[in-house]
Each structure stands twice: as C-alpha cells, then as structure tokens.
Structure 1
Amino acid sequence: MRRVVFPEAKKAVMTECEPPKCGDGQVLLKMRRVGVCGTDIQVFSGRNRFMTFPIVPFHEGIGTAVEVGKDVTDVKVGDTICVRPIIACHNCYPCRHGHVNACENFNSLGVQSNGLGSEYFAIDAEYCPRVSPDLPLDEAILIEPFAVGVHAARRGQVEGKKVLVVGAGTIGNFVAQAAQLLGAEKVAVCDLSEEKVEMARKAGIALPIVSAGKTLREVAAEAFGPEPADVIIDCVGAKPLFQQILDAAAKTSTVVIVGNYSENVELNVAQIQRNELNFLGNITYTRDDFETAIRLFEERKVYVEDFISARFSIEQIQEGMDQAVAGKAHNMKTIFDY
C-alpha cells in the first residue's frame, strides 16, 4: 500500500509497505481523504516540539470500513468513518475523571504516533464514529476541526456571552460558528486576512472584523462598544499577540487558549491575578464534542462552502505540503485524495 512519510523537515515522500492487519476490536479503514491542519504544517516544517522524524502525518481523515475485527458491533463493512484521532490510555488521572482529551499519555495520530497518511489504517473501533453516507466527503473531512470549535466554545461557557474569537482560519471560523450555534449572545471574529474575514461573513458570523492596524482592545471596542468581551478565544497562538489578548480582557472575563504556541511567552501574572481573569487551556475535544460536531454537520447547520481552498492527489504530497506552507496565511483547508 502507499504511505506518506515526512523523513525530515520540509520533505515528504511516498513509500510502499504492507497493509496493516485488523486486530480484535479494531476496524481496518481504506482512507478516502485527509485534511491538512496547522499542526500538520508545524510537523512538516519541523516546528512541532511533540514529534520526531520520521513520521507518517495527518490526523484529519475520512475512510471506509473494509474489515471489522472480533467483538466490533458498532461498525460494519461499508460504513463511512470520520476518525477520532486522539488516542487515550483511559487509566491516568484526567482519563479517569472524564478528560480523555487531556490524557497524560496524549497521543495524536500524525504527531506522537504515525497518522492517517496511509492507504489503509487499522484502529480500535472506539475511535471510529460513523457518519451518514449522505454527507459529502468534502464536508465530512471538516468534522474533526469543527469538533475543536465545539470543545472551545464549551470551555468558554459561551451561552449568553459576548465572544471575541482571535483568528479567522479554519479553527477560528469553526470556533465562532460553534459559539453561535451553542447560544452566544454576540460573536466577533478578527483576522489580518481580508479573505478569511470574508469567509467568516459568508459563514454568518455576526461581527467579522479585519484587524490590520488595530489592537485587539480596539477590535473588541469596535465589536461590542463600551461593553467588554465576556470571552476571548485565542485561535492563533502567536507570541506577539499574547499581551494584546491580555490587555483586551476585561476584569473577570475568560480567555480560552486554542492556538498551538510553538514558543514560550512571558506572562504578567499580576495582570491576571488583579483582574481576576479566567485563563483556560484547551486541547482537542471529548467524545461528546465529536458526536455533537457530527450531529450538527448531518443537520447541515455548519457553513462549509468554499472551505477547501486546495486539493491534491496523495501522490502530490510534496507539492501539496509546500503549497500549504506557502499559502497558510490565506488557505482555509488543503486536502489530499486517495
């Protein structure tokens, strides 16, 4: 079978290997499509501190079940599967308390272990939620990043709140959409990119704002007037923006960190303490978040038109990843088809 490998930074190659065996309790998937996430770009560029080369990339994937192992009852051959790619140990403190997304032995496919960049992939059935065969693959491939948005909105307890989402890329857009679907009073999303802000407008986000030349405090004032944002959700993870987020946060408001920071930032602890700010970490999603994301997609409540900005065959892996890196400021989603 064909398998993608990143042997070193900025290099992608196609290899051949034997297909995996389908073990007890597992499902063997024939992969149909994978999506490129910001994490994949970090991995490809050698800037993700949680992985080592060589690595088989990708954690966003849609496949068809072609074999099911012993004792698998929830999946049958022919089902369309949207892989839930965060593997948990189920034994550590977070797992035992219902936070498998924050497992002490956190394992994201394509980062800590080999990912979905293979023609066939075997995985435990618990990570194989089914999606409706009526849902187009170009929509189903977006379920996983939308689940991130659902979890972030829930972390921020956005219902009835004024929410500012920083960053209007795929994750930022989906966080903003999830916040609106989960009952936020007002949602603003900002970005330097006019194209991404226009996409937010198309997606029905109430307050899309181009932030070029503005501080985040000015963006918040433009969005909400004299009333502050109750919740700020950081979907960028950029060191130069961190202090701006801190300055834009009103006393007692909540900040949710979604973006992956590739370098450490200096933190003014007194500003957090004296303003009684709530700073919340955020990592991936729970099983319930993922199932909610599937339901909202199947109910056609998520705007996904024009989200796929680049499409390649899996044999074009080097060209596609180079394009994803070069166009990351403007791309929404790059996908590879098998």
Structure 2
Amino acid sequence: MRPTYLTLCAVSLIGSSLFAADTATKPAKPKAAKPEASKPAAPKLPTPTQANVSYGTHERQVLDFWQAKSDQPTPVVFNIHGGGWMNGDKGRVSNVDKYLAKGISVVSINYRYVSQAHEAGIMPPVKAPLEDAARALQFIRSKAAEWNLDKERIGATGGSAGACSSLWLAFHNDLADPKSSDPIAHESTRLWCAAVAGAQTTLDPQQMKEWTPNSRYGGHAFGFLAKAGDPKQRDSQFNLFLADRERVLPWIQEYSPYANVTVDDSPVYLTYSTPPALGQDQKDPTHTSNFGVKLQEKCQEVGVPCELVYPGAPNVKHPQIDDYLIEKLKAPSAK
C-alpha cells in the first residue's frame, strides 16, 4: 500500500525538509562527518488565483483559492490545516497541481486558534475554528458564480485537527440561516464528501479513554488550557477535562464528529499511519486508528459510507486521499 499524502504529526509542515540529527563526535578522536539524511522537499505550491481572501473580520479568517480551468463549474477540494487548532497555516495543502489537472479547484483556509478564542471569551474555544470552517465554506459557495464553482461538489480534507474539523462539517446539521440579513449565511454548510488523515473522531474524553487508555487530547478545545499552552500540561488538562465532562457534555455533543453522525450524512474516508489496537495504550494516542475503527462502526450502524485505511486494512479501494477525492468529486451525476 502506498503511504498517505499527509504525515500525521500535528506539528509537521507541508513543504519543509526534515533533517536527521547530526552525528555526535568525540573531541579526542574526531570522526569523519556523515552527510545529513534528508527527505525531498514537497513540490512548491502553485501561485494561488487569489490569495489571503477575507471571509471574516479577524486576521486569521482568510483563505487561498486556486481555480481550475474549465468551461463548466468545477468541484472544490476544501483544505483545513492541522496543528491542534493551536498553530499551523493554510500553506499545509497537498496535491494542488494534481487536483487542478483533474478540473478540481482548491481552497485552503486559515481560522482562529482556540487560544485566540479563549482570550476573546469564546466558549468553548473550539467553537471558533469549527464555525470559522463553516463560514469559509459558506463564503466559497457565495462565490460560486464568480469563481466558476460547483456548489454541490465540495470535499473537505485535512490532517489531525483539520481532519476533525472536516468530519464535523460532514456530520453536523446544515448551519444555513435563510432568514439572516447576511446573504453568505444563506449558503449550506453540508459537504459532498470528506477525506482526512489522523482524525480525532470524538472529542468526548470518556470515549477516548475507553478506546485508547492513554488518551490525552482535547481539553484545550473546551477551555482547559495551561498557561502559554505548555505541552507538558497536556495530561493535567485532559484529567481536568475528564473530571468535568458532565458540565461540558452539551458542548462535546455539539462539536464532536462522532456525536453528530446521522443517516443523511456525506461519505467519508479516513486514513491512519498505524494499525488499530482498541483498548490498548498507543504510541501516538492523538492520531490512533482506534478513532477510525470506532467511527466506521458508527457510520456502518446508520448507513453512512466510511472507508478506513491503515497498514494492513481490509477492503481498501483508495490508497490515498487524493484518489478518493478525485473519484468522488468527478463521479458522473446520478440520472
């Protein structure tokens, strides 16, 4: 099986080179220097058709747009970057040239971080990045005529937190408000499909502990923030989150993808870098494929198509995210 198109570490940067540590030398007996091992840099992104387009008033509410050449309205890949909703940038987007060559336009968005939302008094803080994604999606649809886009065929993608955001859009009820005085708010927030990497499929700490005992993610999304976002405080944040679960349960149910799955939802594709081991500690509990197994079970229960990919997974039809998105977004219309 070919590797997925994203590395699943939430702090990796698309387009940068990763260098191995320098070889240590002893002062008394110098050793010959070894060449640095490196991975080839990802291809440079093409210049956006439009860059830093504002979809809101905050400095982070901007997006880049690459327009595919076509006489007909084009489908759209809607990219939401990862970074734990705490960092990252819209430059984390892959396969732009490949999508454009297939007649698919691409959008990549920035959004407010949970730390910024916390400082602004928005509760829960995850409300800001998730609802920013919904607003950006509505904005794109409002530009359909001007940018030659197919309003229906929009597929969301992203890694880690961006994957969670994409799944939230895929499963949440439509946030369109036809009574709003803002015409952008009239647009739908529903998706044609979603294809994601390393997704956290639930934000419920109790579910996370049941699926993966050493889980420690998600407290920051609901206001359990250590000072300056100190990563060493993640475990204590999670313990507070778990202890206070009942109080924040309505928020969890609103913003957790798993809690929003219903029969009318769009098909989804999930990919992970390691096989699942339900009920066991994981080396990377934040991106474990245990998340994918449990979401696929839920989707199968209600009848939502869900393809799950990991090393050794059965019934893999699309080895990579771009394979899935291109097939789904370019599929012939049903007669």
| Length-normalised TM-score, structure 2 | 0.29
Larger relative strand fraction: 1
